[in-house]
Every structure is written in C-alpha cells, then in structure tokens.
C-alpha cells in the first residue's frame, strides 16, 4: 500500500478491496467483488505500515459517490471511505493451518492494491 499526500499535505491511500461473495460459479471459481476504498490521515499511515496485499481485513466506513469529467464524458465513482479497519488472520497462515491446498474458510475481504488508471490523477 502506497501512502500518498494531497496537495495540502493530508495522507491517504486508495486501494481495491477484494470481497468473496461466498458462492462459486459453475466452473468452480469463486465470485468476487472489487470495492474501491480510500482511507485518510492516521488510519492511512497505520495501513501503509502494517497492511499488505493479500491480508485479511474487516473494515468500517461509509459509501461516498462522486463524479468527474474525463475527455468530455462524466465518470461516476463509488468508494468506501474507511473509518476504521481490523486485522483478521491472513490468507497464507490460514491455508497452512488447514493443510496443503485446502481452504476451509475463505469468505473474508482481502486487500488488493490495484488502482484504476483513470482514478490515479484525481486531486484528492
């Protein structure tokens, strides 16, 4: 997770949270939602220091919608603005404890630090 700063000096992190839907498709792959998140100030500093891609986290926050214009078209956004987060056991540790290749409970949210290129240049 990369800690960034606004022009006014406020720390933030923008990341994608991968959330397992708890269902499998017909081909056996899991259904997953990818949720855009942003976290500010001290909470962002803590996440940057202690959370890495693949870690299990539980989050609390609020939904925030917005829009901006890109190449003459309006782009609508929906983000979760984190208020707090909690560490869960990590995916790698859980898999080792359950045995090779067997995952008993994989129905948590995972940090996925990919960012949509179109959102990267926004001023917040």
Residue of 105, 103, 108 lying closest to 88 (CA atoms) = 108
* SS3 assignment, position 41: helix
Q: Give me the tens of pLDDT residue by residue for the chain, a chain 124 residues long.
A: 899 999 999 999 999 999 988 888 888 888 899 999 999 999 999 999 999 988 999 999 999 999 999 999 999 999 999 999 998 875 555 444 444 333 334 444 556 554 444 445 444 4
Decide yes or no: CATH 1.10.3720.10 for domain 4-117: no
**In the chain, where are the structural domains located?**
4-117
68 burial via Cβ count (<10 Å: 0-12, 13-18, 19+): middle
Q: What is the pTM of this model?
A: 0.68
């Amino acid at each position: 997770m990369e800690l960034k700063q606004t022009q006014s000096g406020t720390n933030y992190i923008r990341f994608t949270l991968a959330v397992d839907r708890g269902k499998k498709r017909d081909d056996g792959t899991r259904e997953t939602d990818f949720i855009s998140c942003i976290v500010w100030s001290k909470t962002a500093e803590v996440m940057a220091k202690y959370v890495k891609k693949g870690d299990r986290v539980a989050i609390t926050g609020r939904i925030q919608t917005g829009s901006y214009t890109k190449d003459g078209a309006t782009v609508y956004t929906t983000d979760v603005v984190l208020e707090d987060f909690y560490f869960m056991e990590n995916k790698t540790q859980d898999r080792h404890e359950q045995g090779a290749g067997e995952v008993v409970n994989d129905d948590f949210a995972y940090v996925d630090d990919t960012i949509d290129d179109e959102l990267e240049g926004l001023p917040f």
